[in-house]
Structure 1
């Protein structure tokens, strides 16, 4: 069995920045176990699997090396890039049926615009296991799918770290921990960490901005914001809070194209 394979960098114009995703179009779903094995073999933050339903409409699933996710922004952006540049380049819009509903991505002057759910967080208490693992105490704690820790400055986010042994005592399922503060050269900055995950820090996390954008939009009194994720690879995102969703925009570029050969015995 062979499957087309694309490795795409999302939220950066450089193949050495942003966040990597493998995108694999297929005619029918393989077993969940095999999809997870492939994601582990790909060894990047996320593997996206596409199944074409109609012209410009695809079923989309996301797998980390550890589990299937309910939403992944950067792999959605990467999937749209593959559809609109490799599979159906005559289109300017693609729709994805996912666990989080139908997601629409369109070409624009900003690169690719994704319509993602609005996940406005609520104030919360930080679990003891997480609180003990942090190298600095946040000013605020909020929770949607992910815990969001708010700090005073960009330097706090840059210097943030966790004690991995303590951090991994927390089990957040498909959730993670967002660390955020006002930005120096943008409206806000962030980083994203996941306990018990093969990849501790996600380089650029589109889905986290479903929570970051409405929070910072309300705090700053802005609907359109520029954001940066301060991982080693760095990433840039444009966020716009709409009436019923969050629009997250960014660039993507293809790094690798090939074929996966599955020899199952």
Structure 2
């Protein structure tokens, strides 16, 4: 690296060390915003995390290959592991531009509370979403649930589909999804279905931010869990989320503690050298 900063690569929400969503975590020793964006663009990962320690207080910033975002779930988990390994500190709270994030550490896993997702808008007319996903509009419903925009630090379209078969065959029109995302002011679209209680299947697309398909996302799944909890009896106190397809797969776990949603999962430390 051009900068003499400590860094580490992690696969977050992996399953037995495979799959998950990659994040590069870097100790921020006074890097400029332009320098951070240059590093994130060169890393070519969905998120690059910059961790800063100032007077004993830790904060994180998150950059996609295209631009900075206020909050990132898998990036926060990677950052918490980096702090634990680099400074020997197990945090129960960390600052981000999307707000303070609570954390608990149990049996070697961090779980984070990203706050309650806020309903922004019901997508009554669809905004062309069915065309972007390549499925009929009538398939974008699940037992009384329809597409909505939720915000968990960042905004996403949260879109139910009738079955896992429909979820699996979705092929996104990138240009169409970019136009919709730009118009609605969202990062992307998070599509979900639930085949059995406590087991959720999801896919995530954010081409506007240079992410064709995301293998594991904390913020978007926090919104899904919030949506499902609004439906009486749709969700228990814990469960799992399977995200992605093929090599782009992640396994997330969620727990409800004191009426708060906590999302966690395995974080695998991977030795990689980044020439940036």
TM-score, normalisation: structure 2: 0.84
User: Any unmatched runs of 5+ in structure 2?
Assistant: none
Alignment partners' CA distance in 2, 1:78 and 1:205? 12
Query: Contact 2:133–2:172 at 8 Å: present in 1 too?
Result: yes
User: Any unmatched runs of 5+ in structure 1?
Assistant: none
Shift of 1:109: 2.5
Alignment partners' CA distance in 1, 2:15 and 2:132? 34
Alignment partners' CA distance in 2, 1:71 and 1:126? 29
Query: Contact 1:103–1:114 at 8 Å: present in 2 too?
Result: yes
1:167 aligns with 2:169: no
| Cα pair distance change 1:61/1:165, threshold 3 Å | same
How well do the aligned residues superpose, as a CA RMSD in angstroms? 2.3
Alignment partners' CA distance in 2, 1:41 and 1:126? 39
Query: Contact 2:189–2:205 at 8 Å: present in 1 too?
Result: yes
Query: Contact 1:65–1:198 at 8 Å: present in 2 too?
Result: yes
- Aligned with 1:192: secondary structure? strand
Match of 1:154 in 2: 164
Shift of 1:166: 2.2
Aligned residue among 220, 223, 226 for 1:214: 226
| Cα pair distance change 1:165/1:100, threshold 3 Å | closer
Shift of 1:174: 5.1
Deviates more, 1:142-151 or 1:191-200: 191-200
Deviates more, 1:185-194 or 1:146-155: 185-194
- Aligned with 1:2: secondary structure? coil
Deviations 1:112-166 (A, max 9, x none): 1112111054533355343322211311211112111111112221211212232
Match of 2:64 in 1: 64
1:204 aligns with 2:213: no
Match of 1:39 in 2: 40
Greater helix proportion: 2
Query: Contact 1:50–1:59 at 8 Å: present in 2 too?
Result: yes
Match of 2:53 in 1: 52
- Aligned with 1:76: secondary structure? helix
Alignment partners' CA distance in 1, 2:211 and 2:249? 16
Match of 1:96 in 2: 94
Alignment partners' CA distance in 2, 1:178 and 1:160? 12
Query: Contact 2:157–2:186 at 8 Å: present in 1 too?
Result: no
Query: Contact 1:10–1:21 at 8 Å: present in 2 too?
Result: yes
